[in-house]
């Protein structure tokens, strides 16, 4: 039963991160769409906000893995921390390749 507590804590913290991140990204996108549709002179700002919101949605999985890495390292679970680092590096490499093309 003691083994389920760290897992439960991790799941709760990840759920909070993903829920709040999704709401924040949606609010940023909505603000950008509102600015773009209401005022022609602010369309560049609105477009930038929409792009930032979409970027946040794309980055949420990376933030999730980074948070897992921190928690695994804190708990001295180095096997899973190594796996998290590997996954984070693969994701960062994919992001880098995607941005270059």
**What is the reported pTM?**
0.72
In the chain, where are the structural domains located? 4-100
Residue 77 exposure: Cα atoms within 13 Å on the Cβ side: 14
pLDDT one-digit tens code per residue, 79-93: 999 999 999 999 999
pLDDT one-digit tens code per residue, 28-52: 999 999 888 876 666 788 889 999 9
Rounded-to-integer distance, Cα 99 and Cα 28, Å = 21
pLDDT class of 1 with cuts at 50, 70, 90: very low
Least confident of 2-16, 18-32, 52-66, 68-82: 2-16
């Amino acid at each position: 039963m003691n083994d389920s507590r760290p897992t439960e804590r991790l799941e709760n913290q990840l759920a909070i991160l993903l829920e709040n991140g999704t709401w924040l990204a949606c609010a940023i996108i909505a603000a950008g769409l509102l600015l773009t549709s209401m005022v022609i002179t602010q369309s560049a700002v609105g477009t930038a906000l929409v792009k930032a919101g979409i970027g946040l949605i794309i980055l949420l999985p990376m933030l999730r893995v980074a948070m897992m890495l921190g928690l695994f390292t804190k708990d001295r679970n180095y096997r899973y921390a190594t796996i998290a680092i590997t996954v984070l590096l693969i994701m960062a490499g994919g992001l880098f390749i995607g941005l270059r093309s």
